[in-house]
Structure 1
Amino acid sequence: MLRDVHYKFEENPSTLEKLLVDSEKPLYIGCERYTRLSSVLRLHNMKAGLGLSDAGFTEFLELVKDTLPSDNVLPSNTYEAKKILSSMSLSYEKIHVNDCILYRNERESLQSCPVCNASRYKKKEGVSAKVLWYFPIIPRFKRFFLNAGDAEKLTWHHNGRIKDDKLRHPADTPQWRFIDGKFPEFGKEERSLRLALSTDGINPFRSLSSTYSTWSVILVTYNLPPSLCMKRKYMMLSLLSSGPKQLGNDIDVYFAPLIDDLKMLWDSGVEVYDAHRNETFNLKAMLFCTIQDYSTYGNLSGYTTKGKHPFPICEDGTRGKWLPSSGKDIFDVHRRFLPYDHPYRKLKKAFDGKQELRGRPRVLSGTEVFEKVKDIEITFGKNRGTKLPKQGYKKCCELRRLPYWRFLFVRHSLDMMHIEKNVCNSLVGTLLNIYLRKDERRC
C-alpha cells in the first residue's frame, strides 16, 4: 500500500513521516505484536467486513481502549481512526453534470449548459444541481495486484480452471476463446482482465412512495473463480449518480469517464506491480459484457425495446401482434426457431390457425450493426426538443467507442430477477384466472 501511494508522499513528505511513525509505534509499552497503524488497519477491516456503523465502531473503540493499558495509543473514535488511514485511501472524483454534458476537461469552467442553457448550480452558488461520483478504476486494479493472494486469484481462469469443454465460467465460452485468438497480444498475458458491467437504479430511501432513483455502475472481474467473482469484496463500484430521476437514454453522458479509462486500458495499458510474482507488467483490461434488466438494455444498446420490434437481436425479423383486450403486444413467433421438420410447425388449431414455414430471423453481426448506427447524431438531455424514433436504433451508444465492442458475440446479458417475476406473474395469473393490474401486465 505504501508503494501504491508514494506519489502522495512526494507532494507532502510530512504525511509519510507520520505514517512511518504510526507503523513503528507499539500499541502500548511492551506490546510486540501490534503497532498503532496495524491495529487500526485490523479493526477497520473488521468494521468494513461486518458492516458496523460509525457510531457502533466508536463505541467498540472506546471499549477496547478502556480494556488496554492506560498508556495505549489506540484512537478513541471513528474520526481519529479514519484520519490515520486517510493518506492510504483511494481517491474519487466529484463531477458536476446535467443530462446533456459533464462539466469536465474543456467544459470544467462553464457556468451553464451550452445545450439547454440550464444553470450548473442550484439557487446557492457553488452547489451543483447534480453530481456524478466517479471512482477511478485503475488505482483499484493496482491495489488488487499489490495483494499477493488476490494477484494469484486473478490468474485462476488460466491456471486453476478445469478445461474439459463444459460451461462453468465465462472463460469456457466461445467469446473468451475468440478474444484470445482475435487479439493475441491481449490474450497471451494471463493477467489481462475481463470485466462485466452491471447497472440499475435503486431507491436509497426504501420508500415505495418516493420515485427518487440513484444509479450505480458496478464492475465484476471474470478472471476470478465463480465462488469469488460475485462476492462484495471483488465487486467494484465505479460510478454513482445521485438522482433524482432515471438516467434513461442519457446514460451515455455519465459513462464517459469510465469509458475513457477502459479505452486507455485496452490501447496502451498501465504499468502494475504484481506482488505474487514480484514483477512489474503492463496491465490491460476489456469489457466482456454488460448485465442489466430489459429496460436498461435499451438504454445501453441504443435500441428501442418497446413496440412491435423490441428485440435488438432479431430487429425487423420479429414483429409483434397487438391484443386490444390486454393492451399489449405479444410475440407468437417461437415456432420459427424449431427445426424445419418439427411437427409443431404444421399445427394450426393449437396455435394461430396458420402453419409456420419461415426460418429463423437473420441476426446482424456486431460490425453490421455498427455500420447502421455510426452516423446517428443525437443531442442528449431531457429538454433537447428532438424526438427519438419509436422503433429501431436511436443512437450510437457510448460503449461502441471501445475498439473491440463490435466483435463480441454477446455484448449485453439480461439479469433474471425481473424476467422470472414477470413470467411467473403471467403464468400463474393465466392458470388461476387472476386479473393483473395494468402495471403488472408485462412479460
Structure 2
Amino acid sequence: MHSESLNSINNLDVDVAIIGAGPSGAIAASLLHQQGKKVLVLEKQYFPRFSIGESLLPCCMQFIEQAGMIDAVKDAGFQFKNGAAFRYQDQYTTFNFTDKFTAGPGTTFQVQRGQFDKILADTAVKQGVNIHYGHTVTQVDLHADPVLQVTDDNGAAYQVNAKFILDASGFGRVLPRLLNLEKPSNLPSRSAIFTHIEDNIDDPTFDRNKILISVHPHHKDIWYWLIPFSNNRCSIGVVGEPHLLQHLQGTLEQQLFAIVNEEPGLKRLLANANIVQECATLKGYSANVSTLATTKFALLGNAGEFLDPVFSSGVTIAMQSAAMAVESLLKQLDGEAVDWQQDYAEPLMKGVNTFRTYVQAWYDGRFQDVIFYQHGNPKIKQMICSILAGYAWDASNPFVAESERRLNTIVALCRETAA
C-alpha cells in the first residue's frame, strides 16, 4: 500500500485527484498513470471492505485489460461467469454471453467485491499509483484549479491542489454532496435486502457459471439475485418497492429468508444454506445529478447515476465512465479544449439510458415478457444478449440505437404470439 506518513504530507500538487479507490477509481488511476500523469487516490475506507455489485459483465474485461490488471484478476480464483439465467414460476431461460451480437469478451467472473476491489487497487499501487487509505475529502474549492481539503483518520488535515478531480466515490457521492449536484432519480424508490451464504447447493442442474435472477411468483416487480462464488458461497438478495416488502416481520435475516421462501425454486435450492455475513439493506439507492462533468471535475459510476442492480450494470458503468473520462481528461491536460458535456456526459449517458430502457421495462413487465419468450428469433436474442453482457454503448446494435422503439416492437410480437 502506498500511503505516505502524514509527517511528509503538507500541501500536495497533482495532475488528478481521484476520490475513491473502487473499480472506477483504480481503473482511472491506472490509465492516467500509464500516460505519465501524477495521480493521487483518496480513499475513505481501508481495503478489503464489503460492497455489493458482485456479478461482473463481460464488457468490464476490456477495461481491466487496458489497465494492465487482467492477469491479477484471472489469477485470483474467482467464479467463472458465462451468462445469466432467469426463472419465473415454471419458466426458466438462459442467455449465453458468448452468443452475442457485439464483438468483445463473452465471459467474466462473479466476485466477492472486497477481494476484487483490493486486487484492482493493489495492482494500481504496484504500477506506481499513490493511494491514501483512511483519508476523507471534507471540502472542495473549484474557483481556480481545484483544491481539496482532506482529513486522515487521526484527524490531521492537509490540502491537495489538483488540475482536475475524478469522483469515484460510488454511493458515497462526495462531490454531488459537497457541490450540491444531487437530483432525484426518475426511477421509483426501491429497497434491497442481501447477505452472503454458504449455499450447500446439491442440485446437479444448478449452473454456478451464471447469475440466477428469479421473479417472485405473485409480484413480478419483486426479484431475487443469486450470485454463486467459487468457495461454496453465494450472494443472495431481494429487491422490491418498500410497500411490497412491508409485510415482512422480524430481523433482516428473518425478513430476507421469509421472502426467499416465497419463491419455490430458491426455497428448494437454498434448503441447506447458512448465513455467513450479517444481512444488510440498501434503500432508495437510485440516484441522479444535475451535472456529470465540467472542466474541473467529472463524476464516475455511481457517484453520477445509479440505476438499479437488476442487470448488474453498476461496475460496467463505473469502468466505462472511467475509460471515457480519462480519454477526455488526457486531451485537456495536454492543452486541448474539451467540451465535457458533448465529449463525456452525452456519450456516457447513451449507454446508461440504454440500460434504463431495459430496467424500466423489467419492472413494468415488458422486458420480462421478452426474456421468458420461448420462440425468439436467435438474431434478436443475440442483440439482447449483448446488452445483458454490458455492451450498451454499441450503437451498431439496433436495441441500443433505438432501444425503446425496438423493445416495444418485440414486446408486441411476443405478446401477440403468446395470446
Q: Could you state the TM-score of these two structures normalised by the residue count of structure 2?
A: 0.21
Higher share in strand: 2
Where relative contact order (Cα < 8 A, 6+ residues apart) is larger, the structure is 2
Q: Which protein has the larger Cα radius of gyration, Structure 1 or Structure 2?
A: 1
